[in-house]
Structure 1
């Protein structure tokens, strides 16, 4: 699986299938992506290879997020305590190849974010 940013300055490839695919409705993901939710595709850290250097910033005491420093495309979310990385689904070269299985952060779900209503959901468990 491969993907990258809008301008092509940062590309990524995965050597293993995703571990988890979900829609996140938390306020941080909404602001980060500029949309009503973020669709995240989680890969084990060892599966990802980066070409180009993403700009990384600490978005909370427990996680960092990255984007392209040239075009601003949101690229990934990485929790300090986890051995996997969430790639934004919009960066996939073939986004139709993944299917989200659940919703996360449902307490922040916007009424107009009408996607995957039949999927199970759970609340955000983050605290800092």
Structure 2
């Protein structure tokens, strides 16, 4: 399958379409994503923001520091997040995609915060922190090489 990739909220009031392939697909186990999604783990599909178009007028947002999360103002479905530190990137909730089975995650992020009863027996890399480094942070490879990760 190739672009465009589309998705939206549960009630259909918010729709989006990406005109390119994603640059990142991952699971996130951090507490912030858990609270924002209401799920024990989240999965995200990352695109360049300038390759995404939105339709609908009910898109709402909530900002917490550099992170802004968007959701439908009618049905409350979580849609995406952006981070001011990640220029021109947007990460859609995997569940908001029309064809979520197409997007297979390639890494687990923030496994330090993974719930102890959640078992995901795959062979994907597991990062103690982020899988998408922010400016000024070490990359996952640098974290492993300096001994901060196993």
Q: CA deviation at 1:116?
A: 5.1
Distance 1:121 1:35, change over 3 A: same
Q: Partner of 2:95: helix, strand, or coil?
A: helix
- State how many pairs are aligned: 125
Query: How high is the TM-score relative to the length of structure 1?
Result: 0.92
| Unaligned residue ranges in structure 2 (runs of 5+) | 135-150
Taking only aligned residues, the RMSD between alpha carbons, in angstroms, comes to 1.3
1:1-128 mapped onto 2 (5 Å cutoff): 1-53=5-57, 54-58=59-63, 60-82=64-86, 83-115=88-120, 117-124=122-129
The structure whose Rg is larger is 2
* Deviation digits for residues 89-125 of structure 1 (CA, Å, limit 9, x no counterpart): 0011111111100000111111332235311111225
Q: Which structure is higher in strand share?
A: 1
Query: How high is the TM-score relative to the length of structure 2?
Result: 0.79
| Unaligned residue ranges in structure 1 (runs of 5+) | none
**CA–CA separation in structure 1 for the residues paired with 2:89 and 2:12:** 23
**CA–CA separation in structure 1 for the residues paired with 2:89 and 2:110:** 19
**CA–CA separation in structure 2 for the residues paired with 1:116 and 1:55:** 35
Q: Partner of 2:101: helix, strand, or coil?
A: helix
**CA–CA separation in structure 2 for the residues paired with 1:116 and 1:92:** 24
**CA–CA separation in structure 2 for the residues paired with 1:99 and 1:112:** 22
